Each structure stands twice: as structure tokens, then as C-alpha cells.
Amino acid sequence: MKRIDLVLFLITMFLIKLPPFYLSSATSRFLTTHVVAKVIIGIIFLYSLINTKIRAKLNHKSIIFPLLFFISQTLSIVKAADTVLFLKDYQNLIIALLIIILGFIYGQSKKNSSFIYKFILITGVFTIFLDFIYFLFSRQFISFISIFIQKEMLPVYIINLDRNRYNLYLNTELFLPFFITVFIISKEKSKKRSSLIAVFFTIFTTIISNFRHRLLFLIFVLIAFGYNFYCKRKEINIKKIFTVFFIVFLLASISSLFIARTFFQKNIVNRLLFQDEFEDVNSINTRLNNFENSMKLFYSSPLFGVGLGNYQLYQGNNKEFSVVDPIKRNFMVESRSDPHSIISKTTGESGIVGGLALWAMIFFFLRRDWIFIKKNDSYKIFAYIVAFWGLFMLSLITPSITIFRGGWMWFLRGLIESNYSEEFSS
């Protein structure tokens, strides 16, 4: 029987992979699935501190750099003009730290590692199924969940649907490395077929979503595995593998592009060609402007920034209040509250201290992963590494502070670091 604390932890990871839902008719933001997940994560962490055997596993350098980054964000409170906004982001940061620590702890056992890997595959299949159903029945889907879903999420989905964009923000592309790995290492034909079906629908839902950052994630995964296959060309039948995945990619791409063009008069190719200035160019300009604004905040308070979560205080020109439609107005309010980049956010909100801590953590992780990839042939761990860096790449151009958008990035990092621990038995 699996340990109850591990099972509970994985349940919380499943909950935060989905959008936040209300748990009562009162629609209080303090009674949602994500709040419950955060509370459970906190309880499990406290249990880990009490358990001597588990506590001993925390004495490892893998935890140092995430901890330093957390401390750097904590110090930014000295410049925070709005403490409530600081605490709103800070509680998400605390949970992110606990997630990476718990992932590190539980991944050190070989039995746990195998169980967690199966959990990731099951979660991946479920989220891709959900993504596909959302595409097929988007309006009905939104109508159904509008009663339960946290109100801050609804405007985002509705506005995107009005623009023929289909995205539940589940980041299903992170599961693609795991599906590809199943095809490579499995000897059972049924598992190989199932993995190829999962790969097909991952590619299909990514392209038909009309979101460029999802396509970027997809391309990153394919390039990473293509390079890995090339490096191992003497050990595997590279011609057969490339042929199989090329056919799957071609079928998924052609079918999704054709359907999008037929029913919506445009597809993601139009977005890549910047044919609509308002839709396709403005989003890039906004991110560049956000970085410029973050640098201005950095110059105004270079050491500690303006305080975690306080970016939004300095960006509003109150344009959203001239918008009559409440859905569009709420969408604009939510959009301008975050600079849409972990680099911009950290630079402006926590200054030199936060920026140095972030880059130190990034290079620490990058160096360890590169050394591991060069010396080891584990496809499973390579899948974790590719998924993590894909999510990190997204954090450079999309919001990532909430556990819904960034929780799995820290979860995967904890699991990767557990494989670098002396405690891990291969």
C-alpha cells in the first residue's frame, strides 16, 4: 500500500493542474480546490519536518538555491507599498518552495519514483482529453463550469473563445516528453500505440489552440528529443523513430490546421505571420513594454525592487475603467497585474537581490542537467528535464506566479533534483 502522504501530495498536484473551482455556493476565493491543495501541501510539509527519516533528506544542496530565491523575494517586502499584494504573491511562492521540497523528498525512493511517473502519465492523458473536449464543446463547456470555476478565470476563457483561441492553460505539452519516452522504452505494442495516440492529440490540441507559446513549447520538446535521438543514433533505430514521429506530427498538424482554417477562417500560421496587428503584434509589444516598465521600477529601487506583487501599482493608466463590457474589463485588470515574464517580474519587484538569486538558481539547475544528460542515458529523467525547461521557457513569456500556472514547474524540478541525490537508488 502506497504511503498516504505521497498519495495526498499527488492529489494536490492533480488539483493544481486543473483550474481552481469553488467548493461551496458562497463562491468564496478562500474555499476553492487550490486553497485546499495549498493547505494539504502545508500539512504534508509539517509532517515531513516531524518525521526524522524524511527530515534527514532535506540536508542537500539541491534545496539551497530555491531557498535563496525564496529569501530574496521575502526581502523585497521592505519596499512593498501594498502589503496585501505582496502577501497574495508570497503565499504562492511559499507553496512553490514546499512543492519543490516535497518533490525532492518523495522522488528519492525508487518505488515512489515509479508511482509518480505513472501518475504523471495518467494526469497527462486526462488533461489532454479535457483539452480536446474543450475544443469540441467549448461554449457548452464554459457554460457548465461557469457556476463552479473561480470568477477570475472566466473572463480569460471567454475572451479567448471570442478570438477563436482554445486554451484551458493546462500546459499539456509538458506531458509530451513522457509519452515519447513510453514509446521509446516500452516493449509492449499496445503501450507504443497508446503513446502515439497521446502524442497525436497533444500536437493536435496544441496547434488548434492558436496559442503561439504552446507551439513554442511543442517545438522545444521535439527539438530536444530530436537532438537526444541523434546523439544516441548508434544505440537506437533512429530512422524508424524519426519516421514514426514525423508521420504522427504531419497528420496532427495537417488535420488541426485544416479544421481551424475551415471553421475559423484562420489558424496558427496566420498568427505566426503577424497578419492581425492587434491580435498578433500587440501581445509581443506588450511584453516588451512590460520589460521596459520593469527596468524603470528596477532603476527606481535597484536593491530590493518595488516589492513582490507590487508591479501592478505602477503600470495602470486606468484604461480598463473606460471599457463597458465587464468581462473585457476584468480581463484587462487581470492582464496588467503581471508583466508576463518571470525575468521582468523578478527584476522590477525584487531588484538586484532577487535577480541574482534567480539567475544563480537557473544556472545551477542548467549546469546539473547538462552534466547529467551528457553522462547518463535515462529517457525517463530526460523527460523530466525537458518538461521542466519547457515550462521555464513559458515562464519567460507568460505569468507563472500562481500554482496553477507554475506549480508543476517546481514539482518537476523537485523530482529532477531527487535523482541527483545520493539517496536515490538506481
**141-186 pLDDT, tens digit each:** 999 999 899 988 888 899 999 888 999 999 999 999 999 999 999 9
241 within domain boundaries: yes
Write the CB contacts of 359 (distance below 8 Å, at least 6 apart in sequence).
none
Structural domain count of the chain: 1
| Helix, strand, coil % over all residues of the chain, rounded to 5 | 75, 0, 25
Beta bridge partners of 21: 149
Residue 338 pLDDT grade (very low, low, confident, very high; cuts 50, 70, 90): confident
Q: What is the pTM of this model?
A: 0.93
C-alpha cell at 26: 458562497
76 within domain boundaries: yes
- pLDDT greater than 80 at residue 81: yes
**Neighbour count for residue 275 (Cβ, 10 Å):** 12
277: which DSSP letter? Answer: I
Crossing angle of the two packed helices 326-336 and 154-162, in degrees rounded to 10: 110
**b/e string for 319-355 if b means 16 or more Cβ within 10 A?**
ebeeeeeeeebbbbbbbbbbbbbbbbbbbbbbbebbb
**What is the tens place of the pLDDT at every residue in 264-281?**
888 899 888 888 877 788
| CA separation for the pair 50, 29 (Å, rounded) | 30
- pLDDT greater than 90 at residue 416: yes
pLDDT for the residue 48: 86
375 within domain boundaries: yes
Residue 55 pLDDT grade (very low, low, confident, very high; cuts 50, 70, 90): low
316 within domain boundaries: yes
**13-27, 276-290, 407-421, range with the lowest pLDDT:** 276-290
pLDDT for the residue 59: 59
